[in-house]
């Protein structure tokens, strides 16, 4: 992997070193001996099935993440779903049938996306460019060199494109030609996890972003002014590894409460209008979270799945029978919770107690990105480039 190979700024090279170093750390590689010291995944056990996973359609849409594990989560807009693979193949599909509407080859290595809205799609490549496409046919409208690579999906609101780059900056650009409106810069620690969480819109006025330092900010979209800032976790420990508190999983806004989780830190609930902590619980995750009206669900860094009370943070249940299976972030649908694993199994858990109630092997290449939901259909993108539409009943 040669992520960010052509980046120019010193911060970008520092980020590159951090990404490459920690990708080795996470993989459990024996750097000096060549041995694999990672904890083996838990073997799957028999269970009593009460929910069935059915496949509505599946479609091959490129090479997927191509073993690099970049966060290329599909994007759903109205009745279409858009994907981008590691090698720059962008595909638009009908959400109901899976039929391909159009497909374009950008012929570049992709690090982040796919984001979009207002008739546009955006992806980012390994040389720090963002590429803006017409969502109706995939034609390139414009592209722009950024200060660093884009590692997550950007946002569009009211003619403003909001891009979070790997060097800790948020850029606001005009959607017509990419003119810079403002930039908010946070910087990054010496060592970070590979990847960034996607920012989150707070209505039409604020953008919420979780940073590698464990801080969360609310920035005013109109002018880039800091509205509030809070530490979701405080780095602690003697080494840079011990002090990692990245926010890499997606955040969720439910009403006025913002939920986020850090690596080696905490799961937090924050008053999104005031930037004040409502509650926090010890937790470590880089996969991400899901939520419904009652509970917040977390896949932790050991691939245990947790449910906590959304209003108090009280831990309600823990499912540890899928530990170390490299689970995706969970997704909530109906009375169930779904996660994918490294072998391509989709596991269905009861929201009531976390028990495993269904399972199906959907894609042998495994899953890395969080499944997406539209109505009662789950869309899950496999590491090898297969997009599947599933229903649980």
121-148 mean pLDDT: 97
Residues 129 and 155 in one domain: yes
pLDDT band at 16 (very low <50, low <70, confident <90, very high): very low
19-32 mean pLDDT: 39
354-366 mean pLDDT: 97
Mean pLDDT of the chain: 88
At residue 366, the pLDDT reads 96
Residues 155 and 57 in one domain: no
Task: Establish if 305 belongs to a structural domain.
Answer: no
Task: Establish if 169 belongs to a structural domain.
Answer: yes
At residue 239, the pLDDT reads 75
**For the domain that residue 351 is a member of, what is the CATH number?**
2.40.128.630
Task: Establish if 393 belongs to a structural domain.
Answer: yes
Task: Establish if 162 belongs to a structural domain.
Answer: yes
87-95 mean pLDDT: 98
Residues 146 and 91 in one domain: yes
Which domain covers residue 126, as residue numbers? 70-189
At residue 88, the pLDDT reads 97
6-18 mean pLDDT: 37
Output phi, psi for 122, to 5 deg: -135, 135
Task: Establish if 271 belongs to a structural domain.
Answer: no
* Distance (Å, whole) CA 247 – CA 298: 13
pLDDT band at 27 (very low <50, low <70, confident <90, very high): very low
pLDDT reading at 190 higher than 70: no
Span of 95-109, 254-268, 375-389 with lowest mean pLDDT: 254-268
353-370 mean pLDDT: 96
Output phi, psi for 25, to 5 deg: -60, -45
Task: Establish if 224 belongs to a structural domain.
Answer: no
20-24 mean pLDDT: 39
Query: 207: alpha, beta or left, given left = phi > 0 and alpha = psi -120 to 50?
Result: beta
At residue 24, the pLDDT reads 35
293-315 mean pLDDT: 97
At residue 233, the pLDDT reads 73
Residues 85 and 177 in one domain: yes
Which of 133, 164, 189 marks a domain boundary?
189
At residue 319, the pLDDT reads 98
339-358 mean pLDDT: 98
Which of 173, 189, 205 marks a domain boundary?
189
- Percent of the chain past pLDDT 70, that is, above it, reads 86
**Contacts by residues 202-211 (CB-CB < 8 Å, ≥ 24 positions apart):** 202/253, 202/258, 202/272, 204/157, 204/158, 206/272, 207/155, 207/162, 207/170, 208/251, 208/253, 208/258, 208/272, 209/164, 209/170, 210/247, 210/248, 210/251, 210/260, 210/262, 211/168, 211/186, 211/247
pLDDT digits (tens, 9 = 90+) for 48-71: 999 999 999 999 999 998 777 788
Residues 142 and 50 in one domain: no
pLDDT reading at 217 higher than 90: yes
Residues 361 and 331 in one domain: yes
Residues 358 and 391 in one domain: yes
pLDDT band at 188 (very low <50, low <70, confident <90, very high): low
pLDDT reading at 75 higher than 70: yes
HSE-up of residue 263 (Cα within 13 Å, Cβ side)? 25
HSE-up of residue 159 (Cα within 13 Å, Cβ side)? 6
14-35 mean pLDDT: 39
pLDDT reading at 9 higher than 80: no
* Distance (Å, whole) CA 24 – CA 26: 6
Q: Are 148 and 169 in contact (CB under 8 A)?
A: yes
Residues 51 and 101 in one domain: no
pLDDT band at 4 (very low <50, low <70, confident <90, very high): very low
pLDDT digits (tens, 9 = 90+) for 156-173: 999 999 999 988 899 999
* Distance (Å, whole) CA 320 – CA 378: 23
Q: Look at the chain and report how many structural domains it folds into.
A: 2
pLDDT reading at 26 higher than 90: no
Residues 76 and 185 in one domain: yes
Task: Establish if 202 belongs to a structural domain.
Answer: no
User: Bigger pLDDT: 201 or 238?
Assistant: 201
At residue 6, the pLDDT reads 32
Which of 139, 162, 189 marks a domain boundary?
189
Task: Establish if 181 belongs to a structural domain.
Answer: yes
Residues 59 and 92 in one domain: no
Span of 30-39, 78-87, 176-185 with lowest mean pLDDT: 30-39
Residues 56 and 112 in one domain: no
Q: Are 209 and 253 in contact (CB under 8 A)?
A: no
Residues 375 and 334 in one domain: yes
33-50 mean pLDDT: 81
pLDDT digits (tens, 9 = 90+) for 242-265: 666 677 888 999 999 999 998 888
């Amino acid at each position: 992997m040669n992520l960010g190979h052509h980046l120019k700024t010193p911060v970008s090279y520092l980020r590159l070193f951090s990404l490459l170093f920690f990708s080795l750390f996470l993989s459990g590689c024996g750097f000096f001996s060549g041995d694999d010291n990672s904890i083996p995944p838990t073997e799957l056990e028999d269970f009593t099935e009460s929910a069935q996973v059915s496949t509505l359609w599946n479609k091959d849409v490129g090479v997927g993440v191509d073993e690099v594990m970049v966060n290329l989560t599909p994007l759903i807009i109205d009745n279409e779903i858009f994907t981008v693979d590691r090698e720059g193949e962008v595909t638009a599909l009908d959400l109901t049938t899976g039929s391909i509407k159009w497909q374009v080859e950008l012929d570049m290595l992709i690090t982040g996306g796919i984001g979009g809205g207002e008739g546009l799609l955006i992806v980012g490549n390994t040389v720090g460019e963002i590429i803006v496409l017409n969502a109706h046919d995939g034609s390139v409208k414009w592209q722009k060199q950024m200060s660093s690579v884009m590692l997550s999906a950007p946002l569009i609101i009211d003619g403003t494109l909001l891009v979070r780059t790997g060097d800790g900056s948020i850029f606001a650009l005009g959607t017509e030609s990419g003119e810079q409106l403002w930039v908010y810069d946070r910087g990054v620690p010496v060592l970070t996890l590979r990847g960034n969480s996607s920012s989150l819109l707070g209505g039409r006025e604020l953008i919420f972003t979780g940073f590698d330092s464990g801080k969360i900010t609310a920035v005013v979209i109109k002018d880039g002014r800091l509205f509030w800032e809070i530490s979701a976790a405080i780095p602690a420990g003697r080494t840079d590894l011990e002090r990692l508190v990245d926010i890499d999983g997606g955040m969720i806004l439910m009403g006025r409460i913002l939920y986020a989780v850090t690596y080696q830190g905490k799961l937090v609930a924050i008053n999104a209008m005031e930037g004040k902590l409502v509650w926090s619980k010890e937790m470590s995750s880089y996969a991400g979270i899901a939520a419904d009206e009652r509970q917040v669900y977390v896949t932790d860094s050991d691939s245990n799945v947790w449910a906590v009370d959304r209003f108090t943070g009280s831990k309600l249940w823990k499912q540890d029978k899928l530990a170390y299976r490299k689970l995706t972030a969970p997704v909530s649908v109906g009375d169930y919770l779904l996660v994918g694993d490294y072998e391509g199994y989709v596991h269905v858990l009861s929201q009531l107690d976390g028990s495993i109630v269904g399972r199906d092997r959907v894609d042998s290449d495994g899953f890395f990105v969080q499944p997406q939901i539209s109505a009662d259909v789950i869309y899950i993108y496999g590491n090898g480039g297969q997009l599947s539409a599933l229903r649980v009943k």
